[in-house]
Amino acid sequence: MNKLWKVFFYEYSRHVLRKRFIFAVLSVPIILGVVMGISIVAALIQSDTRPLGYVDHSGLLANPIQVEETSGLLDRFVELFAYTSEDSVLADI
C-alpha cells in the first residue's frame, strides 16, 4: 500500500506541477472574467435611453404607476410620453 501512495504522489506531482497545467488552471478564471466584462460592456452599449412616446387608444395606460428609480449598474430608465393622437406624435417629431 505504501508503494501505491508513492506512485500516486509521483504521478500527481509530475502532471500537476507542469507549467502548462498551472497555466491552464489559472487561465480559466481569467478567460471567464474577460467574457463577463465584454458581456457587461456590450449590454451597456446596446441600452437605448431615448424617450419613447405612445398613443393609448384603449385607455389602459391612463393611470400609470410610478416606479422608484434604483441606481444599479444596468438599470436604465426610459422617459415615456403619452400622446392623444398619432397626429400629435408626428407634429412632435
pLDDT of 36-61, one tens digit each? Answer: 999 989 988 887 888 888 898 888 88
C-alpha span between 79 and 53 (Å, rounded): 8
pLDDT band with cut points at 50, 70 and 90 for residue 65: confident
Structure pTM? 0.53
pLDDT at 68 over 80: no
Query: Taking the CA atoms of the chain, what radius of gyration do you get in angstroms?
Result: 29
Q: Are 40 and 76 in contact (CB under 8 A)?
A: no
Identity of the amino acid at 61:
L
The owner of cell 393609448 is 56
Q: What backbone phi and psi angles, to 5 degrees, belong to 72?
A: -85, 170
Q: Are 74 and 47 in contact (CB under 8 A)?
A: yes
C-alpha span between 37 and 13 (Å, rounded): 34
pLDDT of 1-27, one tens digit each? Answer: 889 999 999 999 888 888 999 999 999
